[in-house]
Amino acid sequence: MCGIAGFFNSTHHSGDTDLLCRMLGSISYRGPDAAGVYIDDYAALGHVRLSIIDLAGGDQPISNEDGTVWITYNGEIYNYPELRKELEKKGHRFSTKTDTEVLVHLYEEEGTEFLQRLNGQWAFALWDTVRRRLFISRDRVGIRPLFYTHSKGHFFFASEIKALFAIPEIERAIDHHALDQIFTLWTTLPESTFFKGIIELPPGHYLIADERGVTTGTYWENPLYPRDEWFSCSPDRMSGELRELLIDAVKIRLRADVPVGTYLSGGLDSSGITAIVAKQFNRDVQTFGIRFSEERFDEGEHQRAMVDFLGVHHREISAGYDAIADSFCRVIYHCEKPVLRTSPAPLYLLASLVRDSGIKVVLTGEGADEFHGGYDIFKEALVRSFWGRCPGSSIRGKLLERLYPDVFRDDRTRKVAASFFGRDIESFNDPCYSHRIRWNNTARIKTFFSEATRAAIGTYDCFQELRETLPAHFDKSHLLQRAQHLEIAMFMSNYLLSSQGDRMGMAHSIEVRMPYLDHRLIEYAGKVPPWFKICGLHEKHLLKKALAPFLPPAVTGRVKHPYRAPIHKSLLALAASAAGKELLDRRMLQEAGMFNGVKVQALLSKLRKTEMASETDSMAIAGILSAQSLWHDFIKKNPGTAALKLTPDRVIDRRSTGE
């Protein structure tokens, strides 16, 4: 994988190579193997490379035969060999063996419509020197990041925000509406970032910048198929077809000129991917897993069972409280947005183990839960809807006791839990029905906002803005489809794939690949009837059936164990450190201006006195510490200008000024 950066100016203006090299220097960890720049009178493209395919000949930026089209690209196009053969038959000549060069020739052949042909994960910027047009795109679900901003007639883009902050005139300020979104919805809405004026290109979108200005468009949307397009064939046939698609998705994601490993947690999703790799393609695959000292988080027993079952070469790290505390601020530096969990930290540590083991690429299990009905919140929504159709029933609500036995422990907790889950159970027309009670509960942590933050947010309503992003036919979809769409569009694309995916891997120059997010699998899953995804209270019913030939019954029959990491004790350890004390110091809190210092100190005192913190208090301390860390590293300081200016290995200078 790689990092990209660049800029465009519609009027004749010689670019600044030093500026581009500072932008690249701030994200050099994304591509430690090589660096290159292209610059002319109107545009500049920069690239730092993590070499995966065509190790010797794939340095970027890359052009077509006559140098009229150039590209800087972060990603992998898995069907590039097939596309290349088509293009060669049409007379296109290639100078490298990379997937990158395929994009340039596809653009020559098909124009901007070629995005539909791609199977992969990407963020790229393509410069058409003849049309003086910058064409930018991001993959369908947002596996690879891409940000942009405008300043003084210039358009700037980069893989990460810190590269944009290498530009001196770019304002560095908190977007308080985005802060409100995060402390309600767990993440930002599409396009929004934690920083004012910095825009994230949404998944499935493209952008064109030329002399007429900047326009964006959509080339793909998460499918919400109507009932008449759902499959009517047998579960056996569906599971067989799903299995074949998944095997091929894994197969093409093993295309690399370096070894490819896998993450192995012991759960269904990662075990399924690893089993397909080991049984179909590479018996000697290296696998990597996380262990926790706290039993309720640990899946070591299940990891070891899968390692023994498959006979793979496995390594693991232990993510204890101190390790999470020590890495948390570095994790947030790479996330570039506040988080309400510590979950990214163990994955940051795991990526370090992968790097130290000499592996550059790993396959992971992200996407299976979202598209195949794996989360409890999906089952919860279905149960609440069933209960809501007969709210006076004394039996229907008891299904939630089977779903959450740890919550409904005794008469007191049953009463409290029933009141919590029974809130608004008849509000079927609420587009946020599946997530509303969770998001309303999360919003309680906004009590820690300062008066200045409350004033800056004003009457802004993030739920109203969320409703405006939903597809036109959203309200006509099945409840499970609506719940899945919210989870995919909000949490998966805007948080999971970045904060727990790309960012944690690339912090250690590791590329993550996600077979379950192959668009063919996504579109197939979209046509599976909801009752074959969740059968009764059994999640991922069809996926388990599809994976059954590869896995032992102990895995396919096990109830999902959600990936979590310890928050309370980990962040208390951070708060007790010199770095944590500085971030939570009342003067620092007042200077940052986001949070009420008195309330924050009261929260810390409360957390120190309890053995088991509530979910609300845990989310609050995670959000406060991560937001303060970002303010300190990105606003009080500036990571972009502090980065060393990179010296590129390759420079293509086509400026008429001769600079």
Q: Where in the sequence numbering do the catalytic residues fall?
A: 2
- 3-class DSSP state of 100: helix
Exposure string (b/e) for 513-542, b if CB count within 10 Å is 16 or more?
bbbbbbbebbbbbbebebebbbbeeebbbb
Give the contacts of 234 (CB within 8 A, at least 6 positions apart): none
The pairing of beta strand 286-291 with beta strand 313-318: parallel
Quote the tokens at residue 480.
Answer: 């499970």
- Cβ atoms of 206 and 217 within 8 Å: the answer is yes
Cα Rg of the chain (Å, integer): 25
303-315 core/surface letters (b: 16 or more CB in 10 A; e: else): bebbbebbebebb
Backbone dihedral angles phi then psi of residue 76, each to the nearest 5 degrees: -140, 130
Cα separation, 115 vs 630, whole angstroms: 34
Which residues share a beta bridge with 72?
125
Number of other residues whose CB lies within 10 A of the CB of residue 429: 7
Contacts of 609 by beta carbon, 8 Å cutoff, 6+ apart = none
Q: Which residue has the tokens 């609050």?
A: 620
What's the CA gap between 187 and 516, in Å, rounded? Answer: 22
Taking Cα atoms as reference points, which of 31, 67, 68 lies closest to residue 47? 31
| % helix, strand, coil for the chain, step of 5 | 50, 15, 35
| CB neighbourhood size of 440 (10 A) | 14
Pairing of strands 205-210, 133-138: antiparallel
Characterize 616-635 residue by residue with b for buried, 16 or more Cβ atoms within 10 angstroms of its Cβ, and e for exposed. Answer: ebbbbbbbbbbbbbbbbbbb
